[in-house]
Chain A
């Protein structure tokens, strides 16, 4: 559970350090960036976005969210349940990472 906490910022909190120290988090984030580039329809390059940057400010729309979610489900072989289908789930790369991580952990358990 501890690993699922969203870091408050780039490492000021302990939770942030722990989360970023996990190498698989970096891999997840790179995969998410790739899906964003393919399906997100953003106004900026996903490579230039920090994990905590607001994706809606970067041009993500509800239409874009649908494509993004389908892309994530395909990439990670997961299914987003109804309760995750809201704006907050997709508000940043870090939020998406936490959601995907939760789904992957849930599937493994």
Chain B
């Protein structure tokens, strides 16, 4: 196991687990877990070594997301969302001095990055924007009705999608790195939700002003296809896998306790546990396959922008977001009332509520209709196992 994975496991079990119930109950930012992650310098895990970071692989980062989410899904999801933003900077903005300096600061000061893609007018349609970058000389202004920004209050930097210019069509987007000092956030909606309560995904009216150098050099469409889309679906899936894995752990502990009470017999609930374990294994296989596909395509813009790759990543998200619900459901049936109650070591209510967000984070139907459209022209791939 790598250092990152081991460190994340220890923060997960030692800190995130301790505060998970209160983070969920009070819908508050998991500040203790993030203090610990900063203490271990894990916010800079993806930053290249020469810029002071950990130079971690996506495999390692995904395993860290999983390790955290096992104990507190909100902590895992915030860590995952942060890493998606860092990955965009690492893969596409190192040639820009402004962003290179930001990467060094992320590692040095352990800055937390958030994302503002969702807009009140466009919802989960992240490849269209209404707001636009307004350039004036070397500077810009930007105003966005950002209806969901997870941990907007706690973040140090927010990456914002916007149209390139006020005259650009809605699909001609750029990504802008906005620091807290550059922007004013006015809260428009709160986050009193079923699950993922610790992500504090409030809505804001965002008004920013800064240097044009803060706009990432590549069109957002390219970054989205090559990095944001695959990395998002992989690390989100790793988080949901963590939720599922902990549900199965609890179910296993329940069955073992039952078995100890009646030695010599296998409790009937063990059958459901076997079923949950089968689904968990399928889910794990999906995540690991996607990471492998990403690794094989990595560094090749051609491979990363093929339709078959986009389909693989989109369908990963749809599949794992459904599977996590099935695993948690089987785990609850395994534990019976002990899993249904909120006050036992086998409680699975939080897992179920957190898992319900998976299908909604960029709605599965939206992804499926996009995939259906792309399948009209898709061909067999030429890589291994295609």
Binding site for B on A (CB under 8 A): 43, 56-63, 66, 69-70, 80-83, 85-88
B381 touches A63 (CB 8 A): no
Binding site for A on B (CB under 8 A): 127, 164, 168-172, 219, 221-222, 225, 301-302, 305-308, 370, 373-374, 376-382
Which secondary structure characterizes the binding site on chain B?
loop
- Given contacts A56-B219, A56-B221, A86-B305, A69 and B377 within 8 Å (CB-CB): yes
Complex Cα–Cα for A83 and B306 (A): 7
Complex Cα–Cα for A82 and B377 (A): 9
Q: Between A and B, how many residue pairs show CB distances below 8 Å? A: 61
B302 touches A62 (CB 8 A): no
A87 touches B307 (CB 8 A): no
A86 touches B374 (CB 8 A): no
A61 touches B171 (CB 8 A): yes
A86 touches B379 (CB 8 A): no
Residues of A within 8 A of B171 (CB): 56, 59-61
Complex Cα–Cα for A88 and B168 (A): 20
Partner of A57, one of B127, B164, B379: B164
Complex Cα–Cα for A81 and B302 (A): 13
- Given contacts A57-B164, A61-B171, A87-B225, A82 and B374 within 8 Å (CB-CB): no
- Given contacts A63-B373, A87-B222, A56 and B382 within 8 Å (CB-CB): no
Find the A residue at minimum CB distance from B226: A87
B132 to chain A, nearest CB (A): 13
Residues of B within 8 A of A86 (CB): 302, 305-307
Complex Cα–Cα for A86 and B222 (A): 10
* B169, B225, B370: residue with the most chain A Cβ atoms closer than 10 Å: B169
- Given contacts A62-B127, A86-B305, A86-B306, A81 and B379 within 8 Å (CB-CB): yes
A70 touches B377 (CB 8 A): yes
- Given contacts A56-B219, A56-B221, A88-B305, A82 and B381 within 8 Å (CB-CB): yes
B376 touches A82 (CB 8 A): no
A83 touches B302 (CB 8 A): yes
- Given contacts A43-B169, A56-B172, A60-B171, A87 and B377 within 8 Å (CB-CB): no
Complex Cα–Cα for A70 and B302 (A): 20
Partner of B373, one of A43, A58, A66, A80: A66
Complex Cα–Cα for A70 and B307 (A): 14
Complex Cα–Cα for A63 and B374 (A): 7
Residues of B within 8 A of A81 (CB): 379
14 contacts between A and B (CB under 8 A): A56-B221, A57-B164, A57-B169, A59-B172, A61-B127, A62-B221, A62-B370, A66-B373, A66-B374, A70-B376, A82-B306, A82-B382, A85-B307, A88-B301
